[in-house]
Structure 1
Amino acid sequence: MALARCCNAPSFLFTTKRNTPAGTKLRYEVDTSGILPITSEVFKMFPDDMPYSKSQYKKCAVIGNGGIIKNTKCGKEIDSADFVFRCNIPPINEKYSADVGTKTDLVTINPSIITERFQKLEKWRRPFYEVLQNYENSSVVLPAFYNTRNTDVSFRVKYMLDDFESPQGVYFFHPQYLLNVQRFWAVQGVRAKRVSSGLMLVTAALEMCEEVHLYGFWAFPMNPSGIFITHHYYDNVKPRPGFHAMPHEIFNFIHMHTRGIINVHTGPCT
């Protein structure tokens, strides 16, 4: 499969002791002049190997945060998947769980969320810790090596969860993996400053899972029935323009759906 050749999520999705030995120099994804020496202090934060490489999951659900998932009652179906991916710590409380479910095996966090909502964890850390408790034992994944600004704040998440003796694993995307994913999708017509977190997770799921089901992925103000929907299922805040190429991503998903590669859910679950 082309993805295994270009990206190899089972070996390179996260930065590990195996793929990034101590003493190496890690090149950032976009700050190409930026290089992070892997000191023993940094090295000990990495897992020995990819935590998911051994088993392939049968049915995976990747949950986008689009308003299209509202009022679908897909929560039970989502929670029945063997592995559930979520993006950017979205709310999964009682108000939303009937539509979006609660099971989470892996959740991404964009460091900008920590900077804007939690003061970079430089002050009180408990509010952020309590948000993460909603995801119980799920792994937390951050793009620590996207640029030099992301590194310290991403490392703080690891320090904080270790200080609170949390069982949650904290992992950092491998910058070369993300670069390869970006190149892979550019060839498919998704030319953006950056692919979205959702597309990164869908790409990983395609390698890790036999069946990939997408919920909450949509980039248009109306659903397929022509009814207006909010941008996210929990608010109507629009994204920064020109950063992601969401319509191109969705067109690719629909194309893959028609070819039977993935299952895109855009209506209610029965």
Structure 2
Amino acid sequence: MSNASDLLSLEDVHLSPFQKRSMKQILEVYEEKDSFINKSKIQLQEHVDDLLAWVHEVKTPLTAMKLMIEQTNDEKLRKRLESEWVRIHLLLDQQLHHTRLATIEKDNRLEKVILRDVVYKEIREFRSWCLEKGIGFQVEELEQEITTDKKWLAFIVRQILSNAIKYSHENEEVHIYTEINETGHLLLHIKDFGIGINEEDLPRIFQKSYTGTVGRESVQSTGMGLYLAKNAAQKLGILISVKSQVNNGSTFTLQFPQQNEYQKTW
């Protein structure tokens, strides 16, 4: 439909007076609903813009806090403050990407990315948290080059790494390695040896706000990280899967699309 007056004029020669009145009322309702939808879209976009502006405003004092923490002389206190800072930073980061997820297609930028660069940068971001828990990393060379959106891939890796660190026992390692599967796809594995995931929870861990069981309720979790990672990965043509066993850790796997599959994705 274009507008009520155009449609009504088109139907004038075919409608009885009663039908014309009925059609006019129907079209008026349609226009009223169309106007309401447009206003709602504008309000939603304004809300998104306000939320993004708020996130960026909060980043400024957060950066200042980081600098002050680094100047703290009490080493024990500094480590505790740094780990809490990381958690705040992650929550803010999740909110930012949650807001942007709906428009990822407009925001994406495909480029050649060396896997190692993304993974090592994210590991460095978790340095203070890992030091607090005594978590180490065993990482392969990761020299493979892929075509993807670097910022969103970093976000996905960040969510999986934070999950691995959060649910690892103290003084354990996280293993990161790659392989090529039987169909020729590059796989990135992130394996921890922590508390694992209950079998009944596995089909639901990527659902929004789902936090699971097996001791995970005792660890602060919003249940948003894996949900956002899964949705962002789908938009990049990346498949996320997980294998886990209670008290024997979890392995999250990213399967990257081949070059011809990227053409279908975008």
Q: TM-score, normalised by structure 1?
A: 0.24
Q: Which protein is bigger by CA-based radius of gyration?
A: 2
Q: TM-score, normalised by structure 2?
A: 0.25
More helix, by proportion: 2
